[in-house]
Amino acid sequence: MKKNYFGTDGIRGTVGVYPITPDFVLKLGWAAGQVFARESGNHEVLIGKDTRISGYMFESALEAGLSAAGVNTRLLGPMPTPAVSYLTRTFRARAGIVISASHNPYYDNGIKFFGPDGLKLPDDLELQIEAQLAETMTTVSSDRIGKAARIRDAEGRYIEFCKSTIPARLDFNGLHIVVDCAHGSTYHIAPCVFTEIGARVTAIGVEPDGLNINHAVGATAPDTLSRTVLALKADLGIALDGDGDRLILVDHRGEVVDGDQVLFMLARARLGRGELSGPVIGTLMSNLGLEHALDAIDVGFRRAAVGDRYVVEMMLQHDSSLGGESSGHIICRDKLCTGDGIVAALQVLEAMHHSGSSLHALKQAMTKYPQTLINVKIRQRVRLDDYPRIIRAKTDIETELAGRGRVLLRPSGTEPLIRVMVEGPDAWQVQSLAERLAAVVQEELGNG
């Protein structure tokens, strides 16, 4: 069955535009509560959020809807997405809900769900929630209305968990790190984690005002971090996104280190310690350089569909311990079953410590292929196979690359975009071919 609301990462859109409206979120909370209540005798759900101003409104709406369905809520306040996954498991809750639009600007928001195992909800449960949304909303009898309470020590619990993912004996005294929290949900957590493992921390992006989340800071805008690292002569920089599930690094020379490079560094380090199981799981967007570098050290590689939920699904299929995306979602499955920027950064620091090498030196072992990604805004979601001119243009470009590169066309799972990606050994050719294909997509589908 086709989903009407849920995308690759929950339900997301512009605040005030259906379905990201208070009335819809109220009913969504009720519908989810109805499904959770009949699936299990456990009637408790955790709710966390990032720092965007609309989070307060949607937190109240979700709480009311869940209460009307007879489900208790425990409020976490501003909390990274991976923290909600972790705390859902440790509190043995029926589900965890995150109010966040991740790396999007403040005027967007979204709702995503975790099951009791800390994984994103399976498709069948999302379909059940959508089916329940079509029903008339009712309220349980007064004696069964759900109660709400705030968890006061959630922040401390998660900080201790993060630190526990690397050996306590590691000493990072003398290491100067700039940590960019994107004015998001890690602002009160990430600086504490890296300070408490002994590093000297300079924190930026830690003054959320409800409107500045992800604005010119964080994993999607690492230039600010690069400039700060260079100005302070720091050893490295760590950039997280608004909900803390992405990691982008900056080395001491101000050069950006993306998710593919992080994956390779962690794979090689874990292989050396005998801690790597299964193939590394990337996505259709993963750089060819990652695939070739892993092949050179005899580590398998598989590509999942884009989206961390699909990476996790393939990791479970192959019993893989490591997977992720170029954008910085890094899943260390032996630590946590979802992408976690803080935990991934700690694994990189451990790799640096054991090798005695700088971040800049570690990243040299992988050579990235030139890759151009162009986002084309479209009027509405479409099936690309229905547009033969676009398919012909893609085929022609693949012929020109002659097996030395890749072409990828895919609709975004979270925004009205077609992503046009071309990759190959020649940067000028890659840019030219990507622009040519994007122009065809724009002519056929663009919103003008």
Task: Establish how many alpha carbons lie within 13 A of residue 396's alpha carbon, considering only the half-sphere containing its beta carbon.
Answer: 11
Which residue of the set 67, 85, 100, 102 is catalytic? 102
Compute the distance between CA of residue 101 and CA of residue 122 in angstroms, rounded to an integer.
20
Chain length of the chain: 448
- Listing DSSP states for 207-275 in one string gives ---SS-TTSS-STT-THHHHHHHHHHT-SEEEEE-TTS--EEEEETTS-EE-HHHHHHHHHHHHHHTT-
Q: Residue 87 has which token pair?
A: 């705390």
Cα four-point dihedral sign 32, 33, 38, 43: positive
Which are the contacts of 41, defined by CB distance < 8 A and separation ≥ 6? none
Count CB atoms within 10 A of the CB of residue 423. 24
Residue 246, phi then psi, degrees to nearest 5: -115, 150
* Residue 389, phi then psi, degrees to nearest 5: -65, -40
Q: Are 297 and 271 in contact (CB under 8 A)?
A: yes
Looking up tokens 């999007």 gives 104
Is the CA virtual torsion 228, 232, 233, 239 positive or negative? negative
Is position 142 annotated as part of the catalytic site? Answer: no
* Residues 418 and 376: beta-carbon distance below 8 Å: yes
State the Cα–Cα distance between residues 250 and 237, nearest whole angstrom: 5
Enumerate the active-site residues.
102
